[in-house]
Amino acid sequence: MENEVFDHSLVTTGFEIPGYTIVLNKGVVKGIIVRSRSILGNIGASFQTILGGNISLYTQLCEKSRDDAYNLMCQHAKDLGANGIISMRYDTNELAQGIAEVLCYGTAVIFNKN
């Protein structure tokens, strides 16, 4: 499975995927990212807060952090020989002012198509 692409359609927050049967549980997998906001990013976001609405600089930072954590989790599952993940979740914690941890985790499984 090393050269195969991980099938992201087999990642779910649920406990099953219709049309597939779980044949093996490979255990918990995770991806963790710790990010800080840059000073320039904070300055730009400060200007955006004056205008109100979406603070796109922070939105982009959050999206990038979640994507990176998700991709690490999927790689972990692939390394275990899994082809899917059930019960996928995100957790976020602020470790210090301006430094956040994003954790993506789930249960790696092997699915067979029905």
Sorted by where each begins, the domain ranges of the chain are 8-113
**Token output for 59:** 């939105």
Give the pLDDT score at 89. Answer: 98
pLDDT tens-digit readout, 77-111: 999 999 999 999 999 998 887 788 999 999 999 99
User: Residue length, the chain?
Assistant: 114
| CATH code linked to domain 8-113 | 3.30.110.70
**How far apart are the C-alpha atoms of 51 and 107, rounded to whole Å?**
42
CB-based contacts of 76, cutoff 8 Å, min separation 6: 29, 30, 31, 108
pLDDT tens-digit readout, 27-66: 999 999 998 765 555 555 555 556 656 667 777 888 999 9
- Predicted TM-score (pTM) of this structure: 0.82
